[in-house]
Chain A
Amino acid sequence: MTQAFNTKVASCPGCGAPITFEVGSARVRICDHCRSAVARTDRGLENLGKVADLVPTGARLALGLRGKLQGHAFRLAGRIQMEWEQGVWDEWYAVFDDGRFAWISEAQGRYTVTFRHAKRAIPPFEKLAPGQVIQLERLGRFVVADLEQARYLGAAGELPEAVPLGGAPVPSADLSGGEGAFATIDYSDPDDPQLYAGREVPFEALQLAGGAELGSVAQPRISSAQLACPRCGGLLQLVAPDQAKRVTCPQCGSLLDVDQGKLVYLTTLKKQELPFQLGSKARFFGVTWLLIGWLRRRCRVDAVDYDWDEYLLYDPKSAGFRFLVESDGHWSWAESIGAGDLEQGARGVTWKGRYFKLFSAVQAKVVGVLGEFYWAVEVGETAQVRDYVLPPEGLSYEASRAEVNWSHAVYLQPEEVATAFLEKRPLPHGPGVGMMQPNRFRAQFDASRPWAWVGAVLAIAIYIAAGVGGHKVVFSGPLGATPPATLSKSEPAPAAPSVPTSSDAAVAPGLPGTGAPATADPSSAPGAASSTAPAEHAPTPDQPWAGTIGFSEPFQIESRRNLEIELGSSVENGWAFVGGELIRTSDDVVRPFYLETSYYHGVDDGESWSEGSQAASTFMGRVEPGEYVLRGELGWDPSKTRPNLTFRLTSGVPRFTHLLFVLVILAAFPLVTWLRVSAFEKARWEESNLEED
């Protein structure tokens, strides 16, 4: 026997039947025979009166079950049923072997374990509002999830203290903290509110095993009930009778209140055609769900009504609920989450470290209802709804007068929904872009972006490696008038200038352009840098360019790379051009090129200006190794003196334009994809009723 349990047997003052106090700290025992609440006091046993029978709630827990929570063994010694306007839930009195006790609440398949905490600075009930953030000293930050008026409905087993069973509703506040933290404040005594704090736990975390008295773990009931509609007399079936608060009659469309197994007519609703039949099974995320309810909600934005449908699904095994939401052909799967897990920002909320951006804020109204609901749904009820998105996920906030609810949703493709319902007909895709619809181009963009970066880095590396490996100046300087010996045996001598000057060293002296033919001496010897040129190279009116030919000294190109030919000139407010060839001396293969420069500058109205350049360059590709000579023919502005020209030939020059071209190609796909991503997002946010940042 542990310190918590110390069995004492007595007789019920109500019926005389034996009653057993097993929990040392328990003060009240509900007689199993006459349902009397028996309190033990220092004066003996006191009959507090009879309590109501428990109503079926589909609870998975049961009196007497033993469990273990974080290594601490406990036993479920008592049970209280609480009722509020939206339904009934169970509170289980869990007594640990070390003497502590906790309350385990069970509602809609969710479980929270709370321990009573010492008195703290607790705000009065009237000062609380749904969504309000309060600080419970070292327990941390909590959000007021709902404010309720609940009454004690019934009880069984042992209880730590007398409770006002069957009395007036007492106020309480449920608080949601981060990471599943939960607290509730019991305002039964407004002057002495009691704080219970703990956290939500999965059913499995309770590690329940069979109790000595009641046998094995209670199995969830997959039960249903058939009831007659009080309006039309037709039969209707409750899929989750233990939790149902509202149901509609499939025959007459009446909305009925479910009150402990009895149906009460509320109103008649318009019949609706649904894409899925109520009662259908659907398999989502590995769980088979029953479709038990449907409701249509509506909001009005700029005098236009927007509707969306919410399907309520029920898992009989866990007694849990989920929502399937359809808005204009876009589907999502929603599950409620704790308000305390969210950090509110000005334009969004953070949940689990991720930021969801505010998408819409509307007032939603229920305009259609079918099926069965675990809360007292009514047509016409309204709530403030805000949607936040981080596609393909979203968060939804709903606030009513007494509570706030947050849910997390994930987008579903219509095909996924159809498959889940084993629906052979395809569900249509919605027009436009859904609020949470994943941006199908985003994945492409995200997948291509690293490859674009890797490609760019490698392309730059290739550019650098190509330059480092083969960059070499093979010739630099002016051209001379005399063909080198390797060419002189076959190359005609260039024309000589009529008036050589010191500046003529750059190129073989020649005639200054089209309008000033130089004097040539046809008798001059070929190959000589003489003042005359062969007759066929002397300038004539129809061949004014003759006699302007220059040659480089032979030079070697060692590797098969490109060749950059750069021309530098001394043109001033004039122009010059060179038509030339690269001549391979071994086989007289020539590769032509052409370069031109023009450079003008001056001062107009006190402002200096310039255009053109004194330099020009061109490239030749894949120049084979060997000995070469550069041959050039010059022309220039006849009104000017002949300009100085110098050449520089460089082998193996990395081409920046090629690199740029490659980078553009590599960037094209990510760029186009990014544009499509942007267009997709633009279409999404056009559906928002909020101004974008």
Chain B
Amino acid sequence: MAKLYKVVVLAVLALYAAVAFSGWEMESAAQKPQPPSVRTSPGGYRSFHFWHTGFHGGK
């Protein structure tokens, strides 16, 4: 079990180093091309969050 833990430690450190130096983040919205034609469509382009957060102010 202790040997397995050593392997886990090394794996976690390797993964963490990769994450830290690559700038990886856990994100739900991936990047995507958004042509200007879409952003200029009638009604106005709104970001994904604009419509889907459901936030309408505190209090």
Residues of A within 8 A of B (CB): 443-444, 447-448, 451-452, 454-455, 458-459, 462-463, 465-466, 469-470, 487, 489-492, 514, 536-537, 543, 545-546, 560-563, 574-575, 577, 579-581, 583, 587-594, 596, 598, 600, 612, 619-623, 633, 637, 651-652, 654-655, 658-659, 662, 665-666, 669-670
Contact = CB atoms under 8 A, between A and B. Distances in A.
B36 A658 contact: no
A472 to B, nearest CB: 12
Given A444-B2, A492-B44, A590-B34, A577 B55 contact: yes
A448 B5 contact: yes
15 contacts: A455-B13, A469-B21, A470-B21, A514-B56, A545-B50, A562-B25, A575-B59, A577-B55, A579-B47, A591-B30, A593-B29, A593-B47, A594-B49, A619-B27, A665-B12
B9 to A, nearest CB: 4
B7 to A, nearest CB: 10
Interface of B: 1-2, 5-6, 8-9, 12-13, 16-17, 19-27, 29-37, 39-40, 42-50, 53, 55-59
A491 B12 contact: no
Nearest to A665: B12
Contacts of A621: 23-27
Given A490-B40, A577-B53, A588-B33, A455 B58 contact: no
Given A589-B32, A589-B34, A454 B9 contact: yes
Given A492-B40, A594-B53, A581 B58 contact: no
B31 to A, nearest CB: 4
A632 to B, nearest CB: 9
B31 A658 contact: no
Given A455-B13, A591-B31, A666-B12, A622 B39 contact: no
A620 B12 contact: no
A621 B19 CA distance: 9
Contacts of B33: 587-590
Contacts of A545: 46, 50
A633 B47 contact: yes
A462 B13 contact: yes
B44 A579 contact: no
A620 B43 CA distance: 28
Contacts of A560: 22-23
A543 B51 CA distance: 11
A561 B25 CA distance: 10
Nearest to A538: B44
A561 B17 CA distance: 13
A637 to B, nearest CB: 6
Which residue among B22, B33, B43, B57 has the maximum number of chain A CB atoms within 10 Å of its CB?
B57
Contact of B20 (A466, A491, A596): A466
Given A444-B2, A589-B31, A622-B24, A536 B48 contact: no
Closest 3 CB pairs of A and B: A490-B36, A621-B25, A594-B49
A654 to B, nearest CB: 7
B57 A575 contact: yes
Given A589-B33, A590-B33, A536 B49 contact: no
Contacts of A596: 53, 55
Given A589-B34, A662-B16, A633 B50 contact: yes
A451 B7 CA distance: 10
B13 A459 contact: yes
A62 B23 CA distance: 84
A514 B50 CA distance: 13
A536 B32 contact: no
Given A447-B2, A598-B58, A562 B32 contact: no
Contacts of B40: 490-492
Contacts of B19: 658
A659 B13 CA distance: 10
A455 B53 contact: no
Given A579-B53, A580-B47, A588-B36, A451 B12 contact: no
A483 to B, nearest CB: 10
B10 to A, nearest CB: 8
B54 to A, nearest CB: 11
Contact of A600 (B2, B25, B59): B59
A514 B58 CA distance: 14
A588 B34 contact: yes
Given A458-B13, A666-B12, A623 B23 contact: yes
A448 B7 CA distance: 11
Which residue among A514, A562, A574, A637 has the maximum number of chain B CB atoms within 10 Å of its CB?
A562
A592 B47 contact: yes
Contacts of B57: 574-575, 577, 598, 637
B39 A492 contact: yes
Contacts of B58: 575, 598, 600, 612
A188 to B, nearest CB: 61
A593 B28 CA distance: 10
Contact of A593 (B32, B39, B44, B49): B49
A487 B37 CA distance: 12
Contacts of B37: 490
A669 B8 contact: yes
A443 to B, nearest CB: 7
A543 B44 CA distance: 9
A546 B44 contact: yes
A537 B41 CA distance: 10
A581 B23 contact: no
A448 B3 CA distance: 8
Which residue among A545, A589, A621, A669 has the maximum number of chain B CB atoms within 10 Å of its CB?
A621
Contact of A466 (B21, B47, B55): B21
A326 to B, nearest CB: 29
Contacts of B21: 462, 465-466, 469-470
B46 to A, nearest CB: 7
Contact of A591 (B26, B29, B55): B29
Contacts of A455: 9, 12-13
Given A491-B40, A591-B31, A620-B27, 20 more contacts: A447-B5, A448-B2, A451-B6, A451-B9, A455-B12, A463-B20, A469-B21, A545-B46, A560-B23, A561-B23, A579-B49, A580-B47, A581-B47, A593-B49, A598-B57, A621-B23, A621-B24, A655-B25, A658-B16, A666-B12
